[in-house]
Amino acid sequence: MKVFKFGGASVKDAAGVRNVANVLRHFPNDDLLIVVSAMGKTTNALEEVVWGFCDGVPVAEKMEALRKSHLTVLAEAAPNDVAAAAELVLHFDRLNTFLKGKPSESVDRDYDQIVSQGEIWSTLIVSTHLKHAGLSNAWVDARTIVRTDDTYRSARVDWDLSERRAGGLLNEVPGSPKRIVTQGFIGFNAEGDTTTLGREGSDFSAAIFAYLLDAESVTIWKDVPGMFNADPKRFPDTKLLSHISYKEAIELSYFGASVIHPRTLQPLQRKNIPLYVRSFVDLAAPGSTIDDRSENDSLIPSFIIKPGQVLLSITPRDLSFIVEENLSGIFGVFAQHGVCINLMQNSAVAFTVCVDNDNRIKPLVLDLRREYEVRWNEELELVTVRHYDEVTLEKLLKGREVLIEQRSRTTARFVVK
């Protein structure tokens, strides 16, 4: 059995939904579990609904726009399917009723109940279209399988309970080949409430299902023909990484390559399930393979640029040395503010970190300044080069001011202006 994942961009309209059927026709004999994200920018729109709901601002207009656009896609992808339209309307009605109530004491809990609906709508539409296209399938609610804790908005999977849930799943689906259409991004907790796995979490869901069902492979269908050694939108002659190891892919996504969600690889690696990244536009293109073979990892230098960085230089007020006690206190403050350190360096009297410059930084700095002098330097980029060579580095850094440079055998990192 294979797991396929289609992201929001691949199902953003009726043409996208029809293309899912087109991809599936190339796999006429395979049992498939198909994970689908919310359509296009639906998740962002639903986040707006959440903020409005919590602030007591009317959201009816936003909801009506979402209802219309989904019903339009359904009508195009499955003409005259009155039953499917009624079911979709029912889901909208339920959410609208929820939105007429009062926010609970937990914004994150409400967020998950609301935002998760995008995936419910999209999978109903895709499942219905596939039936119309002669591709029989069963719609499965991921909230009956993916059991999580109740950390709303970034729920942790309970693998044992989920595995038990997934046990009979394939046998319950009639027909041959068996096809299941289900949601990415969402799960449920002990109370039966909906949880979500964090933004862009559908890749991770595909890996979860693959793990639970011992799938032979996972394919992420994208609008790009695979994983590249750099962002093709930013660099002219990028190269396809046709075969890399789990470890290399984990490193790349950790450093900021955005092709696959960083948490996706671990469950696949644990069961040695290969991951393919392929183009849903160009089915003949070979794409990228990620598995346990590492012999190609170092063939091509990969580079990842993270913009919007700020360097914080933290010094004890009396210019005393930075020692372990200071560091443990400083890390504590970062953890408290949920600020992730992208790179760090220390000297005798200063501890310097590079972090994403977002709204968490000002309160963090205020806290640090109770004990330390903090200097900052913003509008920087963090450049990471895996398997670097001097030619690549020279090209990347030409005309840039390098503030910090760190090199290991495989990775060179630079904070540049």
- To ligand ASP, the closest distance from the beta carbon of 42 in angstroms equals 7
Query: Judged by CB under 5 A, does residue 8 bind Mg ion?
Result: yes
- To Mg ion, the closest distance from the beta carbon of 201 in angstroms equals 9
Residue 195 touches which member of ligand ASP, Mg ion, none, C-beta under 5-8 Å by kind: none
The answer to whether the CB of 67 falls within 8 A of the CB of 117 is no
Phi, psi of 360, deg, nearest 5: -85, -15
The token pair that represents 411 in the structure block: 């990775």
C-alpha 89/C-alpha 71 separation (Å) is: 8
Residue 228 is given by DSSP the state B
- To Mg ion, the closest distance from the beta carbon of 8 in angstroms equals 3
The CA-atom distances, in angstroms, between 186 and each of 90, 146, 218, 234 are 19, 8, 18, 32
For residues 79 to 118, the per-residue mask of contacts with ligand ASP, x marking binding by CB under 6 A and - elsewhere, is: ---------------------------------------x
The token pair that represents 200 in the structure block: 């862009």
Among 19, 43, 113, 245, binds ligand ASP (CB under 6 A): 43
Residue 120 is given by DSSP the state H
- To Mg ion, the closest distance from the beta carbon of 171 in angstroms equals 31
Nearer residue to Mg ion within complex by CB, 53 or 185? 185
Q: How many residues bind Mg ion (CB under 5 A)?
A: 2
What single string gives the DSSP state of each residue in 229-288? Answer: SS-TTT-SS--B--EEEHHHHHHHHHHT--SS-GGGHHHHHHHT--EEEEESS-TTS--E
What value, to the nearest 5°, has the Cα angle with vertex 194 and ends 191 and 199?
140
Q: Which stretch binds ligand ASP (CB under 6 A): 193-201, 301-309, 368-376, 383-391?
A: 193-201
- To Mg ion, the closest distance from the beta carbon of 199 in angstroms equals 8
Nearer residue to ligand ASP within complex by CB, 46 or 250? 46
- To ligand ASP, the closest distance from the beta carbon of 330 in angstroms equals 32
- To ligand ASP, the closest distance from the beta carbon of 410 in angstroms equals 29
- To Mg ion, the closest distance from the beta carbon of 185 in angstroms equals 8
Q: Which stretch binds ligand ASP (CB under 6 A): 58-66, 72-80, 194-202, 206-214?
A: 194-202
The answer to whether the CB of 38 falls within 8 A of the CB of 183 is no
Query: Judged by CB under 6 A, does residue 201 bind ligand ASP?
Result: yes
Query: Judged by CB under 5 A, does residue 205 bind Mg ion?
Result: no
Provide the sign of the torsion angle of the four alpha carbons 218, 223, 224, 227, taken in this order: negative
C-alpha 98/C-alpha 102 separation (Å) is: 8
Nearer residue to ligand ASP within complex by CB, 74 or 220? 220
Residue 185 touches which member of ligand ASP, Mg ion, none, C-beta under 5-8 Å by kind: ligand ASP
Query: Judged by CB under 6 A, does residue 199 bind ligand ASP?
Result: yes
Query: Judged by CB under 6 A, does residue 202 bind ligand ASP?
Result: yes
Nearer residue to ligand ASP within complex by CB, 43 or 392? 43
Residue 267 touches which member of ligand ASP, Mg ion, none, C-beta under 5-8 Å by kind: none
Residue 386 CB partners (closer than 8 Å, separation 6+): 248, 251, 252, 255, 301, 302, 303, 304, 410, 411
The answer to whether the CB of 218 falls within 8 A of the CB of 268 is yes
Q: Give start and end residues of each alpha helix (H) in 133-242.
A: 159-166, 169-172, 202-213
Report the residue number whose CB is nearest to ligand ASP. Answer: 202
The helix/strand/coil state of 339 is coil
- To Mg ion, the closest distance from the beta carbon of 223 in angstroms equals 12
Query: Judged by CB under 5 A, does residue 37 bind Mg ion?
Result: yes
Give the residue carrying structure tokens 């029809």: 18
Query: Judged by CB under 6 A, does residue 189 bind ligand ASP?
Result: no
Which residues lie near Mg ion (CB under 5 A)? 8, 37
Which residues lie near ligand ASP (CB under 6 A)? 7-8, 37-38, 43, 118, 184-185, 199-202
